[in-house]
């Protein structure tokens, strides 16, 4: 049986306790994972601090960027290994891991390696009241040791989305991947070694949140900043943990994202786009649309078309290249999603399709699959319309005017992403600008340019990452003022 170990100061080390890593496709145990205790988290943080004082801290920006390109090379060299590990851990279809997760991991390193070399400094020539002048300029310095805590839905993509800019800015990191998906963060340690990233610059501690590695890391006195992706309530707990030390945080949290489909849209494009936006990764993407608002005169046609798409999704084995829909991540998460399926019925939903568990007659029946599900007929106040479910499910409601659609879409405590489907460009701009979210797509969804700001408002997060926004979070600016 495979073991996933902690990676501290350039060495793979075992902890005192272990937990099981489960394949969500059939419930089998695929590896044992070592759990980092307080002492090992301490060691990892101290190793990171030493790296900052040692070879890693002494590299120039250009040298750091060159090493990050080598990390990307090392990921690409072991592409299949990373894909297989991600598929086994998450149950996501191999086609998805091959086209999204692993290529994006390599791209994260390349993009931030290139961006950091181009990041300039601000400078101002200042006239003083007494007629003298001064030059102000800012220099970028690393924050220090950054704690990186990530979820299970896009494990490698989301981990490298934070690790790459943090390292590019000269920080050392201690990462705590999700307990559900320990594999690729561990494989990444091997890629770091191959790429010549000095010992201590990248450390991995495995474990859980409260009372385990996650909490030990966020509460550690020598961690300078915490960057976190996960549930909003976990973000709130981490915020409390770092409050007394006033540590900077970057939070990418949950969502209850809306899509607005106008009657003038390209119908086929909108249906294809929404099929992706609702069901990709079995709905386990923070950007997925769980609330779909459709203009009344195309409502029935749209609901029928999306139903056809949902019913044709191939829920195969994740390792099969033709599979389109994998299982949910765990038995516990499946129970949460099924509890919302039950609640939707209690709240009076019309079940357009799905709402249960598929039967396969093979090992997948021991896995964590659910049916892709579409509801209509719920009031906007229903819990299923208000709360993040994080499964392959959406509620579709009709609207009669642009104003009404905007009001319905914005009636949420979350504010991560929205998508607008229309052929009227002016309306596209107008509605997009009125969305209370961090990211709005028009006639597309999850189309990413890594230089753009990414993040949410309200319960969906604090701060923006991406491009210069990542560089700004992962560095401190020291303004220097020189009297001329």
Looking at the annotation, which residues are catalytic? 252, 286
Q: If binding is defined by CB under 6 A, does position 178 make contact with ligand NAD? A: yes
Give the number of C-alpha atoms closer than 13 A to the C-alpha of residue 316, restricted to the C-beta side.
12
| Minimum distance of ligand 6OD from residue 469's CB (angstroms) | 11
Among 225, 286, 337, 396, binds ligand NAD (CB under 6 A): 286
The DSSP string of 448-481 is --TTS-B--SGGGEES-BSHHHHHHHTEEEEEEE
Number of residues that bind ligand 6OD (CB under 6 A): 9
d(CA 413, CA 432): 18
Given the rule CB under 6 A, which of 204-212, 258-266, 279-287, 368-376 is the region that contacts ligand 6OD?
279-287
247 interacts with, out of ligand NAD, ligand 6OD, none, CB within 5 to 8 A per kind: none
The answer to whether 148 and 175 are in contact (CB under 8 A) is yes
Q: If binding is defined by CB under 6 A, does position 286 make contact with ligand 6OD? A: yes
Q: What H or E segment, with its residue span, contains residue 100?
A: none
For CA atoms 273, 274, 280, 284, the dihedral sign is: positive
Q: Of 141 and 413, which CB lies nearer to ligand NAD in the complex structure?
A: 413
The DSSP string of 307-369 is HHHHHH-----TTSTT------S-HHHHHHHHHHHHHHHHTT-EEEE--S----SSGGGGS--
Number of residues that bind ligand NAD (CB under 6 A): 32
d(CA 470, CA 482): 28
The answer to whether 457 and 437 are in contact (CB under 8 A) is yes
Using CB under 6 A as the binding rule, the residues of this chain from 207 to 236 that contact ligand NAD are 208-210, 214-215, 218, 229-231, 234
d(CA 149, CA 178): 8
Strand partners, 456: none
Q: If binding is defined by CB under 6 A, does position 154 make contact with ligand 6OD? A: yes
Q: If binding is defined by CB under 6 A, does position 323 make contact with ligand NAD? A: no
Among 189, 285, 328, 406, binds ligand 6OD (CB under 6 A): 285
161 interacts with, out of ligand NAD, ligand 6OD, none, CB within 5 to 8 A per kind: ligand 6OD
388 interacts with, out of ligand 6OD, ligand NAD, none, CB within 5 to 8 A per kind: ligand NAD
Given the rule CB under 6 A, which of 151-159, 235-243, 342-350, 392-400 is the region that contacts ligand 6OD?
151-159
The DSSP string of 167-207 is HHTT-EEEEE--TT--HHHHHHHHHHHHTTPPTTSEEE---
Q: Of 153 and 282, which CB lies nearer to ligand 6OD in the complex structure?
A: 153
Among 287, 329, 337, 405, binds ligand 6OD (CB under 6 A): 287
> Within 10 A of 169 (CB to CB), how many other CB atoms are there?
24
Among 48, 149, 166, 437, binds ligand NAD (CB under 6 A): 149
Q: Of 193 and 218, which CB lies nearer to ligand NAD in the complex structure?
A: 218
The DSSP string of 48-84 is HHHHHHSHHHH--HHHHHHHHHHHHHHHHHTHHHHHH
152 interacts with, out of ligand 6OD, ligand NAD, none, CB within 5 to 8 A per kind: ligand NAD
| Minimum distance of ligand NAD from residue 186's CB (angstroms) | 14
Give residue number: closest CB to ligand NAD. 209
Q: Of 119 and 457, which CB lies nearer to ligand NAD in the complex structure?
A: 457
d(CA 101, CA 82): 9
Given the rule CB under 6 A, which of 24-32, 153-161, 194-202, 240-248 is the region that contacts ligand 6OD?
153-161
The conformation of residue 97, written as its DSSP 8-state character, comes to I
205 interacts with, out of ligand NAD, ligand 6OD, none, CB within 5 to 8 A per kind: none
Burial (CB count within 10 angstroms: exposed 0-12, middle 13-18, buried 19+), residue 453: middle
Q: If binding is defined by CB under 6 A, does position 149 make contact with ligand 6OD? A: no
Token pair 């600008």: residue: 433
Residues in the site for ligand NAD, rule: CB under 6 A? 149-153, 158, 176, 178-179, 208-210, 214-215, 218, 229-231, 234, 237-238, 252-255, 286, 388, 390, 416, 456, 460-461
Residues in the site for ligand 6OD, rule: CB under 6 A? 153-154, 158, 161, 285-287, 448, 454
């Amino acid at each position: 049986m495979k073991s996933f170990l902690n990676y501290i100061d350039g060495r793979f080390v075992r902890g005192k306790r272990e937990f099981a890593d489960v394949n969500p496709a059939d419930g089998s145990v695929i590896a044992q994972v070592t759990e980092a205790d307080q002492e090992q988290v301490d060691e990892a943080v101290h190793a990171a601090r030493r790296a900052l004082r040692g070879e890693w801290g002494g590299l120039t920006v250009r040298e750091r960027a060159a090493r990050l390109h080598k990390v990307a090379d090392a990921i690409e060299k072991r592409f299949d290994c990373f894909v297989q590990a991600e598929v086994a851990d998450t149950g996501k279809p191999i086609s998805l891991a091959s086209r999204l997760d692993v290529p994006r991991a390599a791209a994260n390193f390349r993009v931030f390696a290139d961006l950091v070399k181009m990041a300039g400094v601000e400078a101002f020539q200042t006239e003083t009241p007494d007629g003298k002048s001064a030059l102000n300029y800012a220099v970028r310095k690393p924050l220090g040791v950054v704690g990186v805590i990530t979820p299970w839905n896009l494990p490698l993509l989301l981990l490298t989305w934070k690790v790459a800019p943090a390292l590019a800015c000269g920080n050392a990191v201690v990462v705590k991947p999700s307990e559900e998906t320990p594999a690729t963060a561990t494989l990444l340690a091997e890629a770091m070694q191959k790429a010549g990233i000095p010992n201590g610059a990248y450390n991995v501690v495995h474990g859980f949140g409260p009372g385990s590695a996650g909490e030990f890391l966020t509460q550690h006195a020598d961690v300078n900043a915490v960057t976190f992706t996960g549930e909003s309530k976990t973000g709130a707990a981490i915020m409390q943990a770092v409050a007394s030390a006033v540590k900077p945080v970057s939070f990418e949290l949950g969502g209850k994202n809306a899509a607005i489909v106008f009657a003038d849209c390209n119908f086929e494009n909108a249906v294809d786009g929404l099929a992706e936006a609702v069901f990709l990764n079995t709905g386990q993407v923070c950007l997925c649309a769980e609330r779909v608002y459709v203009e009344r005169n195309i409502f029935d046609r749209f609901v029928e078309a999306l139903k056809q798409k949902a019913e044709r999704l191939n829920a195969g084995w994740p390792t099969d290249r033709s599979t389109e829909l994998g299982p949910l991540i765990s038995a516990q998460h499946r129970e949460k999603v099924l509890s919302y399926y039950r609640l939707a019925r209690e709240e009076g939903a019309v079940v357009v399709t799905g709402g249960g568990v598929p039967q396969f007659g093979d090992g997948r029946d021991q896995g964590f699959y659910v049916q892709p599900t579409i509801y209509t007929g719920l009031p906007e106040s229903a819990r299923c319309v208000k709360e993040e479910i994080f499964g392959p499910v959406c509620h579709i409601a009709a609207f009669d005017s642009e104003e009404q659609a905007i009001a319905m879409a914005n009636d949420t405590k979350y504010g991560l992403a929205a998508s607008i489907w229309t052929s009227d460009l002016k309306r596209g701009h107008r509605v997009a600008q009125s969305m209370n979210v961090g990211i709005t797509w028009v006639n597309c969804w999850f189309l990413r340019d890594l230089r753009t700001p990414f993040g949410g408002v309200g319960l969906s997060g604090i701060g923006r990452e991406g491009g210069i926004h990542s560089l700004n979070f992962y560095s401190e600016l020291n303004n220097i003022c020189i009297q001329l």
